[in-house]
Structure 1
């Protein structure tokens, strides 16, 4: 944990935001591909 304690505050904030942003990105990709599949099935 010393490594995290030695990080600058901007890097700590970036690390805290990384996981939620990645989750949001994966969710958005999933929604887009799902809707594209539905649109493809309907045509």
Structure 2
């Protein structure tokens, strides 16, 4: 079983990665193409 400090370090690294990934893609919202709308053809 791993020791506590290794576990804490791993958790902190995962939190940093999650925070970094959450902020990716910001600043380009105006250039995003709209998604495909479902057609109403029957």
Runs of 4 or more consecutive aligned structure 1 residues displaced over 2 Å after TM superposition: 40-43
Quick one: higher RCO (CA 8 Å, sep 6+), 1 or 2? 1
Q: Return the index of the structure with the highest Cα Rg.
A: 2
Which consecutive unaligned segments of at least 5 residues does structure 2 have? 29-42
Q: Deviations over 1:2-43 (max 9, x none)?
A: xxxxxxxxxxxxx7x610000000000000000000114445
- Give the alignment's TM-score, normalised by structure 2: 0.53
Instruction: Count matched residues.
Output: 28
- Give the alignment's TM-score, normalised by structure 1: 0.52
**CA root-mean-square deviation:** 2.0
* Counterpart residue number, 1:32: 17
* Counterpart residue number, 2:7: 22
